[in-house]
A and B are shown apart, each in its own frame.
Chain A
């Protein structure tokens, strides 16, 4: 049997499209960068789509080519892990609009031959999901054994069950929400304004220039990063400790450890992420409102779905607090969907879903095993 080049690490495919977009218009061709782990069963029944968060990528369990760091969810995805690559064929795609190989503002606009920049169409979470569905068609996968995602990945998982109810057997939604709140949108707007206020942004046309709006992007990342943590976690880690000095300087250097930590987080982000992609993806999240897409009733989004659901929140997550998960679970109950929900305890805020959590690992494992052999 010849090696099927559609599967493996570091894959990119150009699909002819067109991909119809929620915002009107369409995109063609559509490039999708993705990775697969494990082996697809002959009947394609063991595929799990893992969806990444805002600044994540397709390298869920492989080394990141730019940073050299291990994949963002190696705790959960791998041989013998809860999302077991010995049993499942795990697929992770770089979302539409991003900058790790999928079509996004940095891609070449076939109409002009130059990068799209702000001419790239505004996309939605559902558009990302439609692009993923196109990739699954290409891979010959009709039905997902499961879809798993945290944060924005959870939004994609929810959107999948509503958009393709026949194509998903189970959905795991972690630290996520069915709609972006005013507070969520507010924080994103701060980040976008920081980018657009950077003179190097040049209305998005910086790809040919010597400089990129890295200062603005770093500030956007710093502001967002705070929302991923908890006050208790920050206090425990940094308190008011000073960084590399005995006394305050009474100036604007990074006197406090928390300041230099955030500056580092911001700067290291600019090495691996495109500022325009940050604008497009945050916008997609802001527009996300699954109930609105279904006549204002969230339960309606799940009426056609036959998927089992597993919803998890963390008690210190104030970005997508437990109340948001409960709203999803209420709607699932109202739709009589088979749903599980638990609020896990962690000091790490929204970031908890990316960190070691034995309870999360155990229940994702149990949830996926419950679907085995059916």
Chain B
């Protein structure tokens, strides 16, 4: 099978085998398929794009076409061991409500997002005075789905203020994992494991 995207690989490595998982913004189901096939998880997905949903369903996965902003309310409390939100938080209209729902539906939540405070982004904005376009965030300001940019420090402040426990965090620069030192400046991507 093809290798998982690095942030998904981190999540897959840290999900307990046999657990019940809801993958919000599951794309074509790559992570769900890995969790099902390698970790014997009962995985369910939610995905906005119909073609992605059809592709995931053709893989035999249970995926519902829907919107994280509006459809998470339909899921019962504590229905899953993990709720996963990978590279989707910055595209939601109300990330705060989405996170609350994640932690209501799942006992724990994995959240991964691109770090807008990475030094390349800072440099691009300072040097050129233009919204940065990088390999991680390749779209121009007018057609990007990312409407709530955030940094790693923003996220830490947010979860601290709400009393959400951080059970784990992982950082990526390019495709490679890196330590937590100066993460807000040097990491391009972060993965957090949260608990209510």
Contact = CB atoms under 8 A, between A and B. Distances in A.
Question: In the complex, which range does the number of interface residues on chain A fall in?
Answer: 20 to 34
A363 B57 contact: yes
B88 interface: no
B57 A310 contact: yes
A126 interface: no
A370 B44 CA distance: 13
Contact of B61 (A336, A340, A359, A365): A340
Given A338-B44, A343-B50, A344-B50, A333 B58 contact: no
Contacts of A342: 50, 53-54, 57, 63, 65
A366 B74 CA distance: 25
A340 B23 CA distance: 13
Contacts of A365: 58
SS of A interface (majority): helix
A329 B67 CA distance: 13
A340 B63 contact: yes
B178 interface: no
B23 to A, nearest CB: 13
Contacts of B57: 310, 340, 342, 363, 366-367
Q: Which of A329, A330, A342, A362 gathers the greatest number of chain B CB atoms within 10 Å?
A: A342
A138 interface: no
Given A344-B54, A362-B54, A363-B54, A370 B74 contact: no
A366 B60 contact: yes
A334 interface: yes
Given A333-B74, A333-B75, A338 B62 contact: yes
Nearest to B63: A340
Nearest to A362: B58
Nearest to B44: A338
Given A336-B76, A336-B79, A342-B54, A369 B64 contact: no
Given A339-B64, A342-B53, A343-B65, A334 B58 contact: no
Nearest to B42: A338
Question: In the complex, which range does the number of interface residues on chain B fall in?
Answer: 20 to 34
Interface in B58-99: 58-66, 71, 74-76, 79
Contacts of A370: 59-61
Contacts of A345: 50
Nearest to A325: B65
Interface string B159-185: 000000000000000000000000000
Nearest to B52: A342
Interface in A302-330: 308, 310, 326, 329-330
Contacts of B76: 333-334, 336
B69 to A, nearest CB: 14
A338 B59 CA distance: 15
A336 B65 CA distance: 16
Contacts of A329: 64, 66, 74
A359 to B, nearest CB: 5
Contact of B62 (A330, A340, A344, A362): A340
Nearest to B64: A341
Contacts of B53: 340-342
Contacts of B63: 340-342
A343 B95 CA distance: 25
A369 B59 CA distance: 9
B145 to A, nearest CB: 19
A110 to B, nearest CB: 47
Contact of A363 (B44, B58, B79): B58
A362 B51 CA distance: 12
B64 A340 contact: yes
A326 B57 CA distance: 16
Nearest to B59: A366
A339 B75 CA distance: 12
Nearest to A341: B64
A362 B79 CA distance: 29
A291 to B, nearest CB: 15
Interface string B133-158: 00000000000000000000000000
A370 B57 CA distance: 9
13 contacts: A329-B66, A333-B76, A339-B44, A339-B64, A340-B57, A341-B66, A342-B53, A359-B51, A359-B54, A362-B54, A362-B58, A366-B60, A370-B61
Interface of A: 308, 310, 326, 329-330, 333-334, 336, 338-345, 359, 362-363, 365-367, 369-370
Given A329-B74, A340-B62, A363-B54, 9 more contacts: A310-B57, A326-B66, A330-B71, A333-B75, A333-B76, A342-B57, A359-B54, A366-B57, A366-B58
> 10 tightest CB-CB pairs across the interface, nearest first?
A370-B60, A366-B58, A363-B57, A333-B74, A342-B53, A330-B74, A341-B64, A338-B62, A362-B58, A342-B65
